[in-house]
């Protein structure tokens, strides 16, 4: 974990922390609603707000530094499967000859269904969604739900109206910009991030509800197990409630080959 922290993503993570706490500091130093509550001795809102900011930072590092679901080597995979009383060859039902695990052309590992090689991480990721440069990590089977939770907390944490409440009036435009310069800068940064986070939040909520990924949604015509399906057909879709339940509550890896075979056999 600590080795990853000091690689290329160190600057990105440092910038994220600085922007987050700098905006928070601006809120408490200027005459905003948070500052007024603090001066009145009403600490509920400042404490809750600071806790949300801290949770946002912790979730950021969790998503950024955790294993997104890297595909194990062939020998490690057999050890894991043996430990869980499952054999590797049973991941794919033998009565479905069209399903074959392919070997990655970059790292030469056996790729489970829905896995993809990330050129940035240089490893294959299970249920690959995308590589996010802001967290300098892939979003995959293990950290996708934490990424979605991070987006939710980040959106709640974005305090546009809290910043605007600290803007003061002045007799001239020059004096107004001088007095509100830091607030306006923080407001602009927060507004941009709020729009981006809201769009990402809506997109990933939709993808989770239909059991799809960004990669599958954008490149379905190039994916072997999807290109024969209709444009609106998803062989992994088990209904909104079931999709969200498994997305949020099921931990560990999933043999997507079994779900795929069950769906395609049922459709015949």
For tokens 């990853």, what's the residue? 4
Q: Which of 118, 124, 132, 138 is catalytic?
A: 132
CA distances from 147 to 98, 104, 232, 246 (A): 34, 26, 26, 15
* Residue 251 appears among annotated catalytic residues: no
Query: Using alpha carbons only, how large is the chain's radius of gyration in Å?
Result: 23
C-beta pairs of 51-59 under 8 Å, 24+ apart in sequence? 52/153, 52/156, 52/157, 53/20, 53/21, 53/24, 53/157, 55/153, 56/20, 56/150, 56/153, 56/154, 56/157, 57/16, 57/17, 57/20, 57/21, 59/146, 59/149, 59/150, 59/153, 59/154
d(CA 220, CA 207): 14
The catalytic site residues sit at 132
């Amino acid at each position: 974990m600590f080795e990853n922290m000091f690689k290329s993503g160190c600057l990105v993570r440092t910038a994220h922390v600085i922007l987050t706490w700098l905006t928070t500091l601006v809120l408490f130093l200027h005459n905003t609603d948070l500052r007024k509550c603090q001066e009145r001795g009403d600490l509920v809102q400042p404490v809750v707000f600071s806790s949300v900011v801290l949770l946002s930072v912790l979730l950021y590092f969790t998503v950024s530094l955790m294993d997104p679901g890297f595909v194990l080597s062939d020998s490690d995979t057999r050890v894991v499967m043996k430990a869980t009383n499952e054999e590797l060859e049973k991941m794919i039902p033998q009565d479905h000859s069209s399903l074959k695990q392919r070997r990655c052309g970059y790292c030469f590992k056996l790729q489970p269904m829905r896995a993809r090689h990330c050129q940035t991480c240089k490893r294959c990721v299970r249920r690959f969604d995308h590589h996010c440069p802001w967290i300098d990590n892939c979003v995959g089977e293990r950290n996708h739900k934490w990424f979605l939770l991070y987006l939710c907390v980040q959106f709640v944490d974005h305090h546009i109206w809290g910043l605007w409440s600290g803007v003061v009036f002045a007799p001239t435009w020059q004096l107004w910009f001088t007095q509100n310069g830091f607030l306006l800068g923080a407001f602009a940064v927060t507004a941009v991030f709020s729009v981006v986070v809201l769009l990402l939040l809506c997109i990933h909520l939709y993808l989770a509800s239909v059991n799809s990924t960004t990669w599958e949604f954008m490149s379905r015509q190039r994916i072997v197990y999807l290109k024969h399906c209709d444009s609106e057909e998803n062989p992994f879709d088990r209904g909104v409630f079931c999709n969200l339940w498994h997305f949020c509550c099921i931990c560990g890896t999933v043999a997507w080959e079994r779900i795929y075979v069950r769906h395609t056999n049922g459709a015949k």
